[in-house]
Chain A
Amino acid sequence: MTMIFGVPTAALFGQLLLGLINGSFYAMLSLGLAVIFGLLNIINFTHGAQYMMGAFASWMLLNYLGIGYWPALILAPLIVGATGIILERLLISRLYNLDHLYGLLLTFGVGLIIQGLFRNQYGVSGLPYGIPSQLTGGQNLGFMFMPNYRGWVVVASLIVCLATWFIIEKTRLGAYLRAATENPTLVQAFGINVPLMITLTYGAGVALAAFAGVLAAPIYSVNPNMGADLIIVVFAVVVIGGMGSILGSIITGFALGLVEGLTKVFYPEASSTVIFVIMVLVLLVKPAGLFGRTA
């Protein structure tokens, strides 16, 4: 068997792929958090629950309405994004003039309520959601076996991340967003409807989380706690990348997924803590995060 650094290549690449998949989810989720934090100044602790809702929405679409994976990939983010818009209009919008802490507590509380409701209805054992038939099976890449669905997750998440980056950094709408992030009062004084933009941005950030949830449904079991487990790591990723940086959260998400995968190969005992250790080190050296702007 081929070995690299005393490790079988298949195991190494297997873990790297796993890391890349985890990284895809870290990137999509931290990207949504970054977009929301940038414009709303709200640390959206409901994000994990909204990711879970995305997975549940696709499960419900399939089991109650017979709508499959591909339409769900569009529909679930729209549905969950709409609930985000309602949440922003009803509750979050009342907190913009208050300290960050209020937004954090509110979104954390809402997240717990949503999780509780789903737990009550569906239990915690997890519901199965099959891989779409077009993506079953896998490819033998020579050095490793690559399940098709996992490859698709990495590609889809890269596309979504890059599309989000492109919209924000390269389009006119993105220029509005960036300007409103810096100085909402002045942007409003130019005749732009900033409150509407804020609401839609929250909806888009939530839809991004739900999209990740749909992608996750066939890999992880659809479970009310799936978001809560993931979101803690995602927040560490956001802290490392720097709150509010778009490209930073994408790069950091994928990179930390890979670091986690490598740690599983070389020092498995540390694999669940490595991200937090990196977070501590980054905070010591660059408190604003690797890509963060110091305010």
Chain B
Amino acid sequence: MAEAALATRPGAARATAPLLKVEGLEAWYGESHVLHGMSFDVRQGEVITLLGRNGAGKTTTMKSIIGIMGKRTGSIVFDGTETIKMPSRLIAKLGVAFVPEERGIFSSLSVIENLMLPPQIKPGGLSLDQIYDLFPNLKERSGSQGTKLSGGEQQMLSIARILRTGAKFLLLDEPTEGLAPVIIQQIGATIQRLKNDGFTIILVEQNFRFAQTVADRHYVVEQGRIIDMIPNEEMDASVDKLHRYLGV
């Protein structure tokens, strides 16, 4: 049933192999073993979410995909390339872009310098004008110090700067965390627009109501494993189950 629903989406039908395939992924922070055999896949053009409690391993999964976890084993195949042993800068060059939970705005750089920092990896990234259309606030404040922006503006800057690079596979770690509802709406609209433009997105979310408005499928993460996958159509029917998983 989920397959049938997906097949109607652009991109999902023609891509036979998933764009990203994670299998048996394990990862460690020093001595502590955080991921215990994560396996999931993401198809071209999909928006999927990783849902789960704090400490379940969602952020660690994102960091493993972009290659900034110190120790990781298993298999992460992106667009046909095994990346488990690659340094993050080479993974980035394959077209994967990361928006960290803490947003990663550089305080010693101005807004425009932050925006221009990630180098272009592939053709087809948004131009500066297109980015300013999407996020008009950034234009007005381009000379300010990056960290002087409000939380919402910093989040937009963090997303905006990777849209310039031409990467079409985005890892967004809790983009709505701590933001006002009106900003969350704006970020939701941005994700929707990127999806329509053919971007593939993994979203980490605590807020499954928000996740439901943008995603195709939801993976539930618990103790470093995927314990369930819920297609977006079944979200309403799965509310009780989700409450149990997320403990809300």
Contacts and interface: CB of A to CB of B under 8 A. Distances in A.
Interface of A: 172, 175-176, 178-179, 181-183, 185-194
Given A178-B108, A181-B108, A188 B89 contact: yes
13 contacts: A172-B116, A182-B107, A186-B98, A187-B117, A188-B89, A189-B67, A189-B88, A190-B118, A190-B119, A191-B90, A191-B93, A193-B89, A194-B89
Nearest to A181: B108
Contacts, number: 60
A175 B92 contact: no
Given A189-B92, A192-B89, A194-B89, A182 B106 contact: yes
Nearest to A189: B88
B128 interface: no
Nearest to A169: B108
B6 interface: no
B108 A191 contact: no
B121 A191 contact: yes
B136 interface: no
Contact of B66 (A178, A189, A194): A189
Contacts of A176: 117
Nearest to B93: A191
Contacts of A178: 106, 108-109
Contacts of B165: 190-191
B113 A188 contact: no
A192 B107 CA distance: 19
Given A178-B106, A190-B165, A191-B165, 14 more contacts: A175-B116, A178-B109, A179-B108, A186-B68, A186-B98, A188-B68, A188-B87, A189-B66, A189-B98, A190-B119, A191-B92, A191-B93, A191-B119, A194-B89
Contacts of B90: 191
B100 interface: yes
B89 to A, nearest CB: 5
- Chain A interface helix/strand/loop/mixed: helix
B23 to A, nearest CB: 22
A178 to B, nearest CB: 4
The size class of the interface chain B forms with chain A is 20 to 34
A194 B118 CA distance: 12
B74 interface: no
Nearest to B97: A190
Contact of A185 (B68, B117, B118): B68
A186 B68 CA distance: 8
Counting from the closest, the 7 A-B pairs by CB-CB distance are: A191-B92, A190-B118, A178-B108, A189-B88, A186-B104, A175-B113, A179-B106
Contacts of B108: 178-179, 181-182
Nearest to A97: B70
A194 B92 CA distance: 13
Contacts of A193: 89
Given A183-B104, A189-B68, A175 B89 contact: no
B106 A183 contact: yes
Interface in B66-115: 66-68, 87-93, 97-98, 100, 104, 106-109, 113
A185 B109 CA distance: 16
Nearest to A180: B106
Interface string B28-50: 00000000000000000000000
B201 to A, nearest CB: 16
Contact of A188 (B88, B100, B121): B88
A183 B89 CA distance: 14
A229 B33 CA distance: 51
A185 B89 CA distance: 9
A175 B119 contact: no
Nearest to B161: A190
Contacts of B89: 188-194
Nearest to A172: B116
A192 B108 CA distance: 18
Contacts of A175: 109, 113, 116-117
Contacts of A189: 66-68, 88-89, 91-92, 98
Contacts of A183: 104, 106
Interface string B144-168: 0000000000000000001001000
A192 B161 CA distance: 14
A134 B41 CA distance: 71
A187 B100 CA distance: 12
Given A175-B117, A179-B117, A190 B92 contact: yes
A192 B92 CA distance: 9
Contacts of A188: 68, 87-89, 92
